[in-house]
Amino acid sequence: MNDSPTPLHLTPAEILDSGHQAVIDFAQTYARGPDDTARALSLYTAVRDGFRYDPYRIDLSVPGMKASTVLAQGYGWCVPKAALLAAACRAAEIPARVGYADVRNHLSTARMRESMGSDLFVWHGYTDIWLDGAWRKATPAFNIELCERFGLLPLEFNGRDDSLYHPFDRAGNRHMEYVAQHGTFDDVPLQRIVEAFDRHYPGMQARLGARPDANFVADVDREAGRTSAN
């Protein structure tokens, strides 16, 4: 089967809004290097570490999921952060799309587990980038500061190998387990994600929204016995 890039992988989409001026400016600033691989790596690091991972603030609306919204807010969870990386790659003329998998998360906060009622994270998002004649998976979700706080190995991306969640943390405890693949898409399949969330996590957003002061980093620190500076 021919899985080469198509014009859609360089074209702005509704959520992968690579034509938005903020996305264009971001790509022009951070897509640095002599070739597509170097420029994609630079964008990956900029998205991974420049935007705080926050699964407590999930907005399953089109505006809430847009790549440009992550830029405006300064944070996002795995799906919109992957969307930002894909959109920035497209703005830098590097073919990109988004992909999804269900993962079992063995390290989460008590608040998140209680709100979800599960340790299964459905439709976890990553970015698929066309480099050197192949699609390479990149996962820019966990910023480096969060990895250090959580005792996680940071996800690096070298442009050759897939960048996927580590199965174990620094201490050898179970971290992430991939349990199902949903494939890749030219834009975020929002309706399918909403339906899956409604099915797996009924009432989750209401429970998280009931505590607008909830702070993911503070919860991580508290459960690790530290005092958060945030």
Task: Please name each of the domains of the chain with its CATH number.
Answer: 7-203 (3.10.620)
For 69-93, b/e burial (b = at least 16 CB within 10 A) is: bbbeeebbbbbbbbbbbbbbbbbbe
Short-list 132, 144, 123, CA closest to 38:
132
The H or E element spanning position 89 is helix 78-91
Kindly report, residue by residue over 109-162, the tens digit of the pLDDT: 888 878 888 888 999 999 999 999 999 999 999 898 888 887 777 888 999 999
Return the pLDDT at 166. Answer: 62
In the chain the first and final C-alpha atoms are separated, in Å, by 49
Task: Report DSSP state, residue 213.
Answer: T
Contact 41, 124 (CB under 8 A): no
Among 203, 204, 206, 230, CA closest to 219: 230
Q: What is the pLDDT of residue 1?
A: 43
pLDDT (mean) for 155-182: 78
**Residue with the larger pLDDT of the pair 171 and 229:** 171
Better-scored residue on pLDDT, 163 or 64: 64
Percentage of the chain exceeding pLDDT 90: 62
pLDDT for residue 87 is more than 90: yes
- Quote the pLDDT of residue 212: 67
Given this model, what pLDDT does residue 105 score?
Answer: 75
How far are the Cα atoms of 111, 133, 137, 150, 220 from residue 223, in angstroms, in the given order? Answer: 10, 44, 31, 10, 5
Check residues 83 and 119 and name the one with the higher pLDDT: 83
- Over the stretch 24-37, which tens digit does the pLDDT of each residue have? 999 999 999 999 99
- Comparing 104-108, 129-133, 165-169, 173-177, which segment has the lowest mean pLDDT? 165-169
Share of the chain above pLDDT 70, in %: 87
Rounded to the nearest 5 percent, the helix, strand and coil shares of the chain are: 40, 20, 40
In the prediction, which pLDDT does 176 show?
75
Q: With H, G, I as helix, E, B as strand and everything else as coil, classify residue 16.
A: coil
Can you read off the two tokens belonging to residue 66?
Answer: 């847009």
pLDDT at 106: 57
Query: What pLDDT is stored for residue 171 in this prediction?
Result: 62
- Using CA atoms, how far residue 196 sits from 143, 204, 229, in Å, is 26, 12, 35
pLDDT score at 89: 98
Token pair for 202? 């009924």
pLDDT of residue 230: 46
pLDDT score of 229 more than 70: no
